[in-house]
């Protein structure tokens, strides 16, 4: 997979860009604080943030299930909801990759929608890459005395080249030390619908991942995709591990002192 380290559209290094936050269906329902963390970090990085009302889900479940017609329909609706802003920012590598890589593919033969898909793709960013690469922002005011380990979620890593950005950002959090995770680039076995279609295989994969995370001895597990985090955190908790899981952007927003995934507020 080509790793895109920089976005094709750097034209809009706007002073105070208007950013549309795409919340993702999983963040919306399961863990709203990731959305609020995104609002806070983007504001701190000098963005004017709006949350377009018409957004629902990017269509990834349909796309990955082979239901191309539905994926195309939801892609068009999502494009219509998100275009017209300087940038679109998403707290998920896989949803960002859906818009940036897959919308242009599935709308390629549509003379009306193909240019709109391309234009949106060029303005769409995974949030950690955006904060680091486009805004050059650092969480200078944040401190968290803890050790953490980082899992590179597959879509962000391989489709968008998100690798160094989260580490650079986390490196600026005072008191936080990062421990390397064995097999940090290998899939956790979530895979969207994969984990419900093939639960036994998925479980075998995440079991190994959980063991590797435990072996780091870190307090915290961090990643950039809520789906993967729920999978890994759910396995860690079932196995009785004390490791607590957060979305990276929560840490960057100074919310690392709050409840981790699966902890009651």
**Residues 214-253 interacting with another protein (rule: CB under 8 A):** 230-231, 233-235, 237-238
Choose among 128, 120, 99: nearest CA to 247: 128
Establish if 35 lies at the interface with another protein (CB under 8 A): yes
Say whether 74 sits in a helix, a strand or coil: helix
Radius of gyration, alpha carbons of the chain: 18
Establish if 46 lies at the interface with another protein (CB under 8 A): no
Q: Whole-number minimum distance, CB 199 to another protein, in Å?
A: 4
User: Looking at 11-19, 20-28, 119-127, 129-137, which segment touches another protein (CB under 8 A)?
Assistant: 20-28
Query: 143: which strand partners?
Result: 174
Query: 50: which strand partners?
Result: 20
Establish if 129 lies at the interface with another protein (CB under 8 A): no
The count of chain residues that interact with another protein, using the rule CB under 8 A, is 72
Show the binding pattern over residues 55-74: x = contacts another protein (CB under 8 A), - = does not: xxx-x-xxxxxxxx-x--xx
Q: Which of residues 180-199 bind another protein (CB under 8 A)?
A: 185-187, 189-199
CA distance 257 to 265: 11
Q: Whole-number minimum distance, CB 243 to another protein, in Å?
A: 13
Q: Give 10 or 48: the residue with its C-beta nearer to another protein.
A: 48
Q: Whole-number minimum distance, CB 102 to another protein, in Å?
A: 9
Instruction: Tally the C-alpha atoms within 13 A of residue 111's C-alpha that lie toward its C-beta.
Output: 0
CA distance 239 to 233: 10
Q: Give 5 or 65: the residue with its C-beta nearer to another protein.
A: 65
Q: Which of residues 76-115 bind another protein (CB under 8 A)?
A: 77, 81
CA distance 176 to 191: 29
Q: Whole-number minimum distance, CB 211 to another protein, in Å?
A: 13
Write phi, then psi, for 258 (nearest 5 degrees): -85, -170
Whether 94 and 155 have beta carbons less than 8 Å apart is answered as yes
Query: 3-state DSSP: the chain helix, strand, coil percent, rounded to 5?
Result: 50, 15, 40
Q: Residues 54, 109, 111, 141: which binds another protein (CB under 8 A)?
A: 54
Q: Residues 32, 84, 145, 171: which binds another protein (CB under 8 A)?
A: 32
Say whether 154 sits in a helix, a strand or coil: helix
CA distance 24 to 1: 24
Say whether 146 sits in a helix, a strand or coil: strand
Q: Whole-number minimum distance, CB 133 to another protein, in Å?
A: 21
Q: Which of residues 136-155 bind another protein (CB under 8 A)?
A: 154-155
**What is the DSSP pairing of strand 87-90 with strand 220-223?**
unpaired
Q: Residues 87, 135, 151, 158: which binds another protein (CB under 8 A)?
A: 158
Establish if 156 lies at the interface with another protein (CB under 8 A): no
Q: Whole-number minimum distance, CB 73 to another protein, in Å?
A: 7
Establish if 31 lies at the interface with another protein (CB under 8 A): yes
């Amino acid at each position: 997979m080509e790793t895109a380290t920089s976005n094709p559209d750097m034209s809009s290094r706007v002073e105070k860009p208007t950013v549309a936050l795409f919340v993702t269906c999983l963040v919306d329902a399961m863990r709203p604080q990731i959305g609020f963390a995104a609002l806070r970090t983007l504001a701190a990085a000098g963005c004017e943030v709006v949350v377009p009302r018409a957004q629902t889900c990017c269509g990834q479940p349909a796309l990955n299930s082979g239901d191309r017609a539905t994926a195309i329909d939801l892609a068009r609706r999502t494009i219509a909801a998100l275009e017209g802003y300087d940038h679109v920012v998403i707290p998920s590598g896989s949803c960002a990759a859906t818009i940036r890589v897959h919308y242009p593919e599935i709308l390629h033969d549509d003379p009306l929608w193909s240019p709109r898909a391309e234009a949106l793709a060029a303005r769409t960013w995974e949030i950690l890459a955006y904060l680091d690469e486009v805004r050059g922002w650092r969480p200078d005011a944040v401190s968290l005395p803890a050790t953490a380990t980082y899992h590179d979620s597959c879509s962000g890593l391989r489709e968008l080249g998100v690798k160094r950005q989260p580490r650079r950002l986390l490196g600026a959090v005072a008191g936080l030390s990062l421990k390397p995770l064995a097999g940090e680039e290998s899939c956790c076995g979530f895979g969207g619908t994969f984990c419900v279609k093939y639960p036994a295989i998925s479980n075998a994969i995440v079991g190994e991942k959980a063991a590797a995370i435990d072996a780091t001895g870190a307090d915290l597990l961090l990643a950039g995709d809520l789906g993967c985090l729920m999978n890994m955190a759910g396995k860690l908790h079932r196995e009785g591990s004390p490791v607590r899981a957060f979305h990276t952007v929560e840490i960057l927003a100074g919310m690392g002192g709050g409840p981790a995934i699966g902890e009651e507020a």
